Amino acid sequence: MGDYCIGVDLGGTNLRIAAVDSDSKLLEKLTLGAEVSRGRDFVITEMCKAIESLRTKYQSSGALLGIGIGVPGFIDMVAGMVMDSPNLPDWKSYPVRDEIERRLSTKVILENDANSAAMGEKWLGAGRQFEHMAMYTLGTGVGGGLIFNGSLWHGMTGMAGELGHFNVYADGHPCGCGSRGCLEQYASATAVVRMAREAIARGESTELEKLSHDEGQFTSRSIYNLAVQGEPAAKKVFENVGRALGIGVGSMVNALNLPIYVIGGGVSSAWDAFAPAMFEEMKFRSSIYALTSPDRVGHEKGTIVTRAMLGSDAGLYGAARLPMLLGFSQTETGRQ
Ligand SMILES: [Zn+2]
């Protein structure tokens, strides 16, 4: 093996850490309970300990080029800080990057988790043959990431690509961000469960109602299973997911005319339940999509909207990729 990077994916339940070499070979993956509730300092200490153990193990094989850390929330890339994160309240306005760099004496890049996932799919997944792409991650919330010319588009401060807060219904359901009708309120796992509850409240489904009696079993996956069995109200929930995605992705096609839009995260495994409504809506909302859809111009030239390939590892691989790209750009600059 050659030089390598360490990627960190800090989720709501797990803290995952992977050492990946520059040929994309996974050297080792660690999964620790994130125990976010024990506070920022506990999580950072556990993370640094695990990184040190990997560094010690692989120190004779190659150089550690840097560490990429994907975290949920709004990131100020310049300051290396989490500006706001519902999952990590005590991380707000704390110099995370500088603190971890100080502890480990290694270059650290702090990145939004959905941006990291976009980079992972660009490097090794559905977007690997494309230089420009957009990614949506449909999880507890909806995240997004934009890649232009092979690099993440950060906007002015690092907060670009929040595709989950793209408005799809002007006066729709209230969103945690303070707005209403964001895509996240119709295409996340949380939204699937809420929309199923709304169907129950309207008296539309005894099947969903029965399912809801077991709180632990009432999940986007079990609602999807009902949809696959043909239960009309459950099918309708996923058609709503597809319609909202069609409005969101269609608007992005209108704005950016990118060659590929990748849809990942847990809810993307319900693809067959929401994709038909999504494609139908995209053709309606975006004449650019209607003109460039693969069934009209062929797969090679068409606008691709497709499922992600790396599953829950996208963010981990993407985070590990970030210091490598920095390394390349520094090398290039050095040569000039
Ligand atoms: Zn929102």
- Gap from CA of 58 to ligand 1 centroid (Å): 42
Percent of the chain with pLDDT over 70: 96
Task: Give 244 Cα–ligand 1 centroid separation in angstroms.
Answer: 13
DSSP sequence for 157-169: TS----GGGSBSS
Distance from the alpha carbon of residue 171 to the mean position of ligand 1, in angstroms = 12
- The winner for highest mean pLDDT among 22-36, 83-97, 284-298 is 284-298
Ligand 1: centre distance to CA 15 (Å): 25
Å from CA of 176 to ligand 1 middle = 6
The tens digit of pLDDT for each residue in 229-278 reads: 999 999 999 999 999 999 999 999 999 999 999 999 999 999 999 999 99
pLDDT at 34: 62
Q: What is the DSSP string of 208-265?
A: HHHHHTSGGG-SHHHHHHHHHTT-HHHHHHHHHHHHHHHHHHHHHHHHH--SEEEEES
Ligand 1 center to 316 CA (angstroms): 25
Distance from the alpha carbon of residue 164 to the mean position of ligand 1, in angstroms: 7
Cα(1) to ligand 1 centroid in Å equals: 43
CA 159 distance to own-chain centroid: 14
- pLDDT in the model for residue 2: 81
**Ligand 1 mean position to 227 CA, how many Å?**
26
Ligand 1 center to residue 139 CA distance, Å?
A: 14
How many A from CA of 181 to the centre of ligand 1?
A: 7
Average pLDDT over residues 28-38: 83
pLDDT of residue 299: 86
Q: How far is the CA of 178 from the centre of ligand 1 (A)?
A: 6
- Tell me how far the alpha carbon of residue 229 lies from the centroid of ligand 1, in angstroms: 32
DSSP codes of every residue in 70-106? EESSEEETTTTEEEE-SS-GGGBT--HHHHHHHHH-S
Distance CA(319)–CA(87), nearest Å, equals 19
Cα–ligand 1 centroid distance for 278 (angstroms): 20
The first and second tokens of residue 119, run together, are 């980079």
Q: Ligand 1 centre from 259 Cα, in Å?
A: 26
Residue 174 CA to ligand 1 centre (angstroms):
8
Please tell me the distance between residue 182's alpha carbon and the centre of ligand 1 in angstroms. Answer: 5
Cα(310) to centroid(ligand 1), Å: 26
- Ligand 1 centre distance from Cα of residue 162 (Å): 9
How far is the centre of ligand 1, averaged over its atoms, from the C-alpha of 201 (Å)? Answer: 24
Q: Tell me, in angstroms, the distance from the centre of ligand 1 to residue 269's CA.
A: 23
- Ligand 1 centroid from CA 186, angstroms: 11
CA distance 78 to 280: 40
| Residue 13: predicted pLDDT | 73
Q: Are 142 and 187 in contact (CB under 8 A)?
A: yes
- Quickly state the pLDDT bin for 335 (edges 50, 70, 90): very low
Ligand 1: centre distance to CA 275 (Å): 22
Identify the pLDDT of residue 300: 87
Phi, psi of 302 (to 5 degrees): -80, 165
pLDDT at residue 1 in the model: 65
- Helix pair angle (220-228, 232-256), 10° resolution: 110
Ligand 1 centre to CA of 165 (Å) is 4
Q: What is the pTM of this model?
A: 0.93
Q: What is the pLDDT of residue 172?
A: 98
- From CA 172, how far away is CA 243, in angstroms rounded? 14
What sign has the CA pseudo-torsion 159, 311, 56, 47?
Answer: positive
